[in-house]
Amino acid sequence: MIYDKLKATGRLTYAVYDSSGALKLQGASPNQVKVQAANQYRSLQVGLPYTDSSISTIWYMGLIRGDNYTTTSIYDRYDTNVSTHPGWSEVSSNTLISTLRPQWYRAPASNATIAGSTVSWTSVATNVNFSVAGILVMTENTVNKTIHQLVTFPGFLYATGIFTAIVTLTPGDTLEVDYEAYLGSA
C-alpha cells in the first residue's frame, strides 16, 4: 500500500421514478473531483483552512443540464472569483419543485469512503420535460447562485458526475442520486 500519489475519486448511482413510484431507469458512473478539491485536501493536511475561512459544514448537490452539456473539466470552478465551467450549466430552479439545491448529509468516513443520504429532485408537474446530464457536489445551496465572496461563502465545487446517458425527466418524475467520495490509491 505504497502511494506515490493519493487519488480523490468517487461514484454516483442514480435512479428515476415516475409519479406512481415505478422505476424508469437506473445507472452508476464515476465522478470527477476538481483540482480545487485536491488543493483543499493538501491545505487541510498542513492545518490551513481553505482560503481564509473554515470549510462549510453543509454540502449540496445540483443538476447539470443535458441540453447544452458538452464536457466537464477537473479545472471547473463555480465561484465568481474564478467561475469557469464552459462545458456545462446548471438546471435552473424553475423546472424543479425546490428552488434550493438539496442537502447531502454525510456519514462518518469509513474504509476511506464518505457516503451519505440519498438526494432527490422532483420535476415540476406542470412544466415541460427537461434533460439532465449529471450532478454537481458543492457547498452552496441556491440554484444558479455563484459564490461571489469567498470570505463570506467559503464554498467550492468538489466534484461533478455525469450519467452514462442523458436523463430526460418528465413532469412528476423523481431523480434520486447516491454519492460516495473515496480517497486512496485507486
| Binding positions for another protein, rule: CB under 8 A | 1-9, 32-48, 50-51, 54-57, 59, 74, 81-82, 106, 108-114, 116, 150, 156, 158, 181, 183-184
In the complex, the smallest distance separating the C-beta of residue 5 from another protein, rounded to whole angstroms, is 5
66 or 154, CB closer to another protein?
Answer: 154
- Residue 168: all three cell numbers together: 430526460
Q: CB-wise, 53 or 144, nearer to another protein?
A: 53
Q: Given the complex with another protein, which of 93 and 113 has the nearer CB atom?
A: 113
Q: DSSP secondary structure string, 171-182?
A: TT-EEEEEEEEE
Contact between residue 74 and residue 51 where contact means Cβ atoms under 8 Å apart: no
Distance CA 149, CA 140 (A): 12
- Residue 130 or residue 156: which is nearer to another protein going by CB? 156
- Nearest approach in angstroms of CB 144 to another protein is 22
Query: CB–CB of 95/122 below 8 Å?
Result: no
Classify the C-alpha dihedral 106-107-109-110 as positive or negative: negative
